[in-house]
């Protein structure tokens, strides 16, 4: 019976290297590349690399948007690296809003777990796709398009969102325009907004120039 055993070991060892590519748990200590973070050595990988508990706690919604986004992207959740998917938690207090934003490299699916959410996206030909979503409804937001979510009820809302990329990114239009040192002149020229409006929002969001 020793014969088979030996062979099975040989057979296995011949594949142990290939297993490297079953997954690629992120190693944040070395440079990353266009496809994602470098891979941790399989021998150092544990089940905890594939489990993330950060979405169990409600985000802090005591802020200007009365909302919070808690990401579980490859940058926070190493097991996702290279697997083409990620997720996040959305907390919307009463009156909470996730302002107009895009995910530069990913499509999004939203699942309402609690409350009512009014969500919408705009297509390249400026058509509005708008819907009021109740518990259990899901909505998809195609890649890169402008979209938003608003709490449409009198109670807090909770939703989980998933993305078609381990690092979908998040670009909030207001933050991109008003939360940096882009000059008021350039913003006025490239958005048609009034100078006073730009100055006001730079004040609220901490932008300069």
**Binding site as annotated, residues for oxalate:** 103, 108
Q: Exactly one of 117, 141, 157, 202 binds a copy of itself (CB under 8 A); which one? A: 141
- Rule CB under 8 A: say whether 109 interacts with a copy of itself: yes
How many angstroms separate the CA atoms of 51 and 35, rounded? Answer: 21
CB 22, min distance to a copy of itself, A:
5
CB 153, min distance to a copy of itself, A:
14
- Rule CB under 8 A: say whether 39 interacts with a copy of itself: yes
Binding mask 7-36 for a copy of itself (x = CB under 8 A): xx-xxx-xxxxxxxxxxx--x--xxxxxxx
Query: Considering beta carbons, is residue 30 or 155 the nearer one to a copy of itself?
Result: 30
How many angstroms separate the CA atoms of 21 and 42, rounded? Answer: 9
The SS3 assignment for 193 reads coil
Residue 180 CB partners (closer than 8 Å, separation 6+): 207, 208
List 157's β-bridge partners, or say none. Answer: 92
Q: Which helix (H) or strand (E) holds 13?
A: helix 2-16
The angle at the Cα of 141, spanning 156 to 172, to the nearest 5 degrees, equals 70
- Rule CB under 8 A: say whether 44 interacts with a copy of itself: no
- Rule CB under 8 A: say whether 2 interacts with a copy of itself: no
- Rule CB under 8 A: say whether 116 interacts with a copy of itself: no
């Amino acid at each position: 019976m020793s014969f088979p055993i030996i062979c099975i070991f040989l057979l296995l060892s011949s594949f142990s290297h290939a297993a490297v590519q079953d997954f690629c748990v992120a190693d944040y200590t070395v440079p990353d590349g266009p496809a994602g973070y470098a891979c941790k050595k399989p021998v150092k990988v544990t089940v905890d690399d594939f489990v993330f508990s950060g979405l169990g706690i409600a985000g802090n919604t005591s802020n200007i948007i009365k909302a919070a986004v808690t990401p579980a992207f490859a940058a926070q959740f190493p097991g996702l690296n290279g697997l083409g998917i990620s997720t996040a938690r959305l907390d919307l207090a009463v009156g909470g809003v996730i302002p107009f934003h895009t995910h530069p490299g990913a499509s999004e699916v939203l699942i309402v777990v609690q409350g009512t959410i009014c969500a919408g996206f705009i297509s390249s030909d400026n058509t509005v796709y708008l819907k009021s979503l109740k518990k259990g409804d899901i909505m998809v937001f195609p890649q890169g398009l402008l979209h938003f979510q608003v709490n449409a009820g009198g109670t807090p809302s909770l939703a989980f969102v998933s993305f078609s990329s381990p690092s979908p990114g998040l670009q909030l239009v207001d933050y991109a325009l008003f939360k940096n040192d882009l000059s008021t002149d350039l913003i006025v020229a490239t958005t048609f907004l009034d100078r006073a409006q730009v100055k006001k929002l730079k004040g609220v969001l901490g932008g300069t120039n």
